[in-house]
Every structure is written in structure tokens, then in C-alpha cells.
Amino acid sequence: MSEKPIGVAVLGLGNVGTEVVRIIEESAADLEARIGAPLQLRGIGVRRVANDRGVPEELLTDDIEKLVSRDDVDIVVELMGPVEPARKAIMAALERGKSVVTANKALMAQSTGELAQAAEKARVDLYFEAAVAGAIPVIRPLTQSLAGDSVVRVAGIVNGTTNYILSAMNDTGASYESALADASALGYAEADPTADVEGYDAAAKAAILASIAFHTRVTADDVYREGITKVSAEDFASAKALGCNIKLLAICERLVSGKGKHRVSARVYPALVPLDHPLASVNGAFNAVVVEAEAAGRLMFYGQGAGGAPTASAVMGDLVMAARNRVQGGRGPRESKYAKLPIASIGAIPTRYYVNMNVKDQPGVLSAVAAEFSRHEVSIAEVRQEGMTDPEGEPCGARIVVVTHRATDAALSDTVKALAELDVVQDINSVLRMEGSDS
């Protein structure tokens, strides 16, 4: 066993950073046995040095550049976010020959290529398992366990805040606003929940997953994104009638045209999911990712997707791997981008749809609506119609819910625009996709 310690610098002392520091200190003997050398904490980079951090003050510094440049630091663990100053710190570490472990999903979705090139040039490791789905091991299975297989599709619930909100709406019939307020009160939602509820967080994770699964650089800007703010209690009632739940899904897949041309699709949106699909029963703040590969078939990864301790678990797994490589002289997986597949536009993606609209209650309405679907070559699978009344109980029109067979997003968008122009259609209440069904 090597006697030379592996020097570690931790950047950031929030919930995750505090937990990582605790594990390094309290599990020192076990970590040394697993790595083949002791881990030694050289310093902790913070924005403000204070003596109320719960760690020895001599470890704290606000000079990040000096810390990552120290000769006795072998691995830098970046847990401070956001994109800047994290990118600058990671680049400085890589350029000075330090391996890097990060949980920064926004940075990895934006700057994977730049960071991967710097790691390759310095011949050091860049690990980021904790950037997607917290404690759930997803990155390593894709880069290592399935390295000899061909991944077809990766779909999952990768944001705990939105899954908590949607689960509450499904279970209690609450409105979006009420469920968000509860999530905020319980600490699941940030003071500004925009990144979560508008799908930005999930889109960053989708970009990372798509890049790895399909050996193609995919950035967050390549990911089609819709949030959950327009999902209503009425949508959940309709979903239940159709035997479905509603989940915010991150979907990455390899599409093959009739001529054998391959493309990558990466998208995030709320969708109806059949109750017999494994993702439909993932509730609360939990995450789950389903991977489909040609040889392995369907694999599912489920667990805590966020939080200090779960995320720290993933960080520590990467730290141990990076430290082992330092001891043994090896390196972890490098960026694989050989495929260079084009990104498919959302308009070309085929799926099923749920369209909820208010219409006039008069003869010929249903045939007029059906005609627009037919004119745009969108096949109808199911139609539900019910009367509506005003607060005084007087009839005030009807509600129609249409479920389609598979059609392209472009065809469905054209259909919805045409429906909105019909005199008999009063409002298009919602349009949601349906995933997990091939019909």
C-alpha cells in the first residue's frame, strides 16, 4: 500500500461539500484501504472565510486559484457552482495536472467539450457522476458497463422538485400553485424555482446523458424544453381517466430513418405515462432513469436524486476512482464523441398526444374537430366529451379530450393552430405528449 497521500481540495462548503468533507474525515481508514493510499484534505475553497463553518479554520481559503494550483493537491472536488467561477477553477486545476470531480450539471451541459479537451491534454481524470440524478449511478453504467452495447434510449425523471409537485397534484388534486407552495415550505423548491419548474435543470441533465449515451456532443441549447407550470388539476383528472400519470421526463434517443440515417433527440417536457410503465410510480422527490440498449434490454436506476448526503455519495464514488487512478497510474473513461450525430428537431419527433379543449355545445362540433386532425394526418385514437356548466349551473359549452396515435410534433402543432382558428373551439386548454406507449 502506498504511503504517499493523495491531496484533495474541496471547492464549496454547502450541503454537499460539508457532507463530502465529513466523509473524508470520518471514513479515512476505509477510504485508504479502498484506494491504496490515504486521502488528505489540503484545503477548502469558500467565498467567505469564517470560524463558524464546522471545520478547522486553517483549511479555509477564499483564494481558489492558489488552492487549486498547490503542488500538494492531486484532485480538486468542485461543489460550488454556478457555471462561473466553477469553470475557471476547474480549467485552472486541469491545466495544472489535477484530476477533477464535479457535480456541476449546468457547467457540464455547457462546457463538456472544453473541459474534456483540457483533461485529455493534461492526461488527468474528469468525473461528474453527481451531475445527474444525485446518488443514482447512471453516468458510470453508460460509460463503462454498457461500453460494449448500443444504447437506444434513455428516459427518466431527473428533477426531484418537479416530481414532488406533480406527485402532490396527482395524489391530492391540488393546483400547480398550491403544490409548489407546499414544495417550497418543505424545502424541496428553491426561493426561485424557475430552473426546476421550467425544465432548465432537467435539460442540462438530458444534455449530459445524451452526450454519453450516443457518443455525440449535446449541449443544453440542443435540448427541447417545456416546464410544468401549465399542467393543471384538470389534466391530472383526465390522465387518471386514461389510466395515466403525468411526469416531467427527460428523453434522449437515437432515431433511425428509413434510409438508415441516425440522429439524436434530447427533450424535456411533461407527459402522460401509462400506469403500467415503471416511471409512472416514481413519486415524491425520487428520481429514476430507464436505459434501453440493444443487447442489455431495459435497465432501471432508481433512488434519491438530490440532497447533501445522496449527492455526496456519488461525489465520493468519483473521488475514490480518481484517487485509485492516481495510485495505480491509470485513467478513467475519456470523452467519446466519435459518432458526431446530428440533433433532430422537435418537429420531426413522433409521439402520441393529449389535447384538451373547450368547444361550443352544438351539432357538428366533433366532426369539425376530427376533420382538422384528419386534414393534418394526425390519427385519433380516442375522444372523450363532457358538458360544462357555469357557476349558476347553466350549460356553457363542452369539453373535448382527444388522444392521438403517433404523429410528428410538427403535424400536431399545425393541427392545434388550425383548431384554435375554428369558430366552434373556445379554448385549447392544454396539449401534452404521451410517452411509454407504442400505439
Separation CA 143–CA 140 (nearest Å): 5
* Cross-strand pairs, 245: 273
Separation CA 144–CA 225 (nearest Å): 28
59 is in an annotated binding site: no
Please, what is the Cα angle at 423 between 417 and 424, to 5 degrees?
100
Separation CA 373–CA 356 (nearest Å): 14
419 is in an annotated binding site: no
435 is in an annotated binding site: no
Separation CA 208–CA 108 (nearest Å): 7
- How many CB atoms are closer than 10 A to CB 3? 6
258 is in an annotated binding site: no
The residues that are catalytic are: 205
18 is in an annotated binding site: yes
Separation CA 326–CA 35 (nearest Å): 9
DSSP state of 280: G
Separation CA 249–CA 266 (nearest Å): 11
Q: Within 13 Å and on the Cβ side, how many CA atoms surround 299?
A: 19
What are φ and ψ of residue 347, in 5° steps? -60, -25
DSSP string, 208-225: HHHHHHHTS---GGGSEE
Residue carrying the nine cell digits 401534452: 432
13 is in an annotated binding site: yes
17 is in an annotated binding site: yes
7 is in an annotated binding site: no
Annotated binding site for L-homoserine: 190
Annotated binding site for NADP(+): 11-18
- Residue ranges for the known binding site for NADPH are 105
